[in-house]
Structure 1
Amino acid sequence: MSDKLFGTDGVRGRANTWPMTADLALRLGAAAGRYFRRDGSTAHRVVIGKDTRLSGYMFENALTAGFTSTGMNVLLLGPVPTPAVGMLTQSMRADVGVMISASHNPHHDNGIKFFGPDGFKLSDEAQAEIERMTHAGVEVAQAQNIGRAKRIDDGRFRYNERLKMSFPEGKRLDGMKVVIDCANGAAYRTAPEVLWELGAEVIAIGVTPDGQNINQNCGSTQPETAAQAVLEHGADVGICLDGDADRVMIIDETGKVADGDQLMALMAARWADQGRLKGGALVATVMSNLGLERYLDARGLRLERTAVGDRYVVERMREGGFNLGGEQSGHIVMTDYATTGDGLLAGLQFLAAMVETGQPASQLVHQFEPVPQLLKNVRFSAGQKPLDAEDVKAAIAQAEASLNGNGRLLIRKSGTEPLIRVMAESEDEATLSAAVESVVQAVEHATA
Structure 2
Amino acid sequence: MARKYFGTDGIRGRTNQTPMTAEIAMKVGQAAGAYFLRGTHRHRVLIGKDTRLSGYMMENALTAGFTSVGMDVTLVGPMPTPAVAMLTRSMRADLGVMVSASHNPFADNGIKLFGPDGYKLSDEAEAAIEAMIDGTVGLAPAEAIGRARRIEDAQGRYIQTVKASFPEHLRLDGLRVVIDCANGAAYRVAPTALWELGAELIQIGVDPNGLNINEKVGSTAPGALQAKVVETRADIGIALDGDADRLIVVDDRGEIVDGDQLMALIAAAAARDGRLAGGGVVATIMSNLGLERFLAERGIALHRTPVGDRYVVEAMRAGGYNIGGEQSGHIVLADHATTGDGLIAALQVLAELVISGERAHRLLRQFDPLPQLLKNVRFSGGQPLDDDAVRTVIAECERELADAGRLVIRKSGTEPLIRVMAEGEDRALVARVVDRICDAVRRAA
TM-score tier by shorter-chain length is over 0.9
Q: How far is 1:42 from its partner? A: 6.0
**Distance verdict in 2 for CA 1:230–1:417, change over 3 Å:** same
Aligned-partner Cα distance in 2 for 1:269–1:178: 23
* Aligned match for 1:424, one of 422, 425, 441: 422
Letter in 1 for 2:181: C
1:269-280 equivalences under 5 Å are 269-280=268-279
1:287-366 equivalences under 5 Å are 287-366=286-365
Letter in 1 for 2:151: I
Matched, 1:408 2:406: yes
CA-based RMSD of the aligned residues comes to 0.8
Superimposed CA distance per residue, residues 340-383 of structure 1 (whole angstroms, 9 cap, x where no aligned partner): 0000110011000011111111112100000000000001113x
Aligned-partner Cα distance in 1 for 2:348–2:359: 14
Find the counterpart in structure 2 of residue 368 from structure 1. Answer: 367
Unaligned stretches of 5+ residues in structure 1: none
Aligned-partner Cα distance in 1 for 2:151–2:378: 40
**Secondary structure of 1:67's partner?**
helix
**Secondary structure of 2:403's partner?**
coil
**Secondary structure of 1:136's partner?**
coil
Aligned-partner Cα distance in 2 for 1:81–1:137: 32
Divergent runs of 4+, >2 A: none
Matched, 1:150 2:130: no
Find the counterpart in structure 2 of residue 10 from structure 1. Answer: 10
Q: Is the contact made by 1:174 and 1:199 (CA closer than 8 Å) also made in structure 2?
A: yes
Letter in 2 for 1:30: Q
Find the counterpart in structure 2 of residue 218 from structure 1. Answer: 217
Letter in 2 for 1:15: T
Q: TM-score, normalised by structure 1?
A: 0.98
Superimposed CA distance per residue, residues 188-238 of structure 1 (whole angstroms, 9 cap, x where no aligned partner): 001110111111111010001011110000100111100110011111000
Aligned-partner Cα distance in 2 for 1:124–1:363: 41
Aligned-partner Cα distance in 2 for 1:57–1:214: 15
**Distance verdict in 2 for CA 1:3–1:302, change over 3 Å:** closer
Find the counterpart in structure 2 of residue 180 from structure 1. Answer: 179
**Secondary structure of 1:305's partner?**
strand
Find the counterpart in structure 1 of residue 168 from structure 2. Answer: 169
Letter in 1 for 2:406: R
Unaligned stretches of 5+ residues in structure 2: none
Find the counterpart in structure 2 of residue 245 from structure 1. Answer: 244
Letter in 1 for 2:283: A
Q: How far is 1:3 from its partner? A: 6.0
**Secondary structure of 1:278's partner?**
coil
Aligned-partner Cα distance in 1 for 2:236–2:263: 17
Superimposed CA distance per residue, residues 394-438 of structure 1 (whole angstroms, 9 cap, x where no aligned partner): 110111111122000010000011100000001111111110000
Q: How far is 1:443 from its partner? A: 0.4
Q: Is the contact made by 1:172 and 1:198 (CA closer than 8 Å) also made in structure 2?
A: yes
* Aligned match for 2:432, one of 402, 426, 434: 434
Q: Is the contact made by 1:227 and 1:251 (CA closer than 8 Å) also made in structure 2?
A: yes
Find the counterpart in structure 2 of residue 209 from structure 1. Answer: 208
Letter in 1 for 2:37: R
**Distance verdict in 2 for CA 1:59–1:42, change over 3 Å:** farther
Q: How far is 1:137 from its partner? A: 2.3
Aligned-partner Cα distance in 1 for 2:190–2:143: 42
Superimposed CA distance per residue, residues 131-171 of structure 1 (whole angstroms, 9 cap, x where no aligned partner): 01111121011110000000011111100011111110121
Letter in 2 for 1:113: K
**Secondary structure of 1:122's partner?**
coil
1:183-198 equivalences under 5 Å are 183-198=182-197
Aligned-partner Cα distance in 2 for 1:50–1:421: 28
**Secondary structure of 1:351's partner?**
helix
**Distance verdict in 2 for CA 1:200–1:111, change over 3 Å:** same
Q: Is the contact made by 1:106 and 1:215 (CA closer than 8 Å) also made in structure 2?
A: yes
Paired residues, number: 444
Find the counterpart in structure 2 of residue 285 from structure 1. Answer: 284
Letter in 2 for 1:18: T
Find the counterpart in structure 2 of residue 255 from structure 1. Answer: 254
Matched, 1:24 2:24: yes
Letter in 2 for 1:184: N
Aligned-partner Cα distance in 1 for 2:363–2:108: 35
Aligned-partner Cα distance in 1 for 2:42–2:35: 14
Letter in 2 for 1:16: N
Letter in 1 for 2:201: V
Q: How far is 1:274 from its partner? A: 0.7
Letter in 2 for 1:444: R
Aligned-partner Cα distance in 2 for 1:399–1:216: 36
Find the counterpart in structure 2 of residue 228 from structure 1. Answer: 227
Q: Is the contact made by 1:42 and 1:72 (CA closer than 8 Å) also made in structure 2?
A: no
Aligned-partner Cα distance in 1 for 2:174–2:292: 35
1:41-190 equivalences under 5 Å are 41=40, 43-190=42-189
Letter in 2 for 1:280: G
Aligned-partner Cα distance in 1 for 2:86–2:348: 18
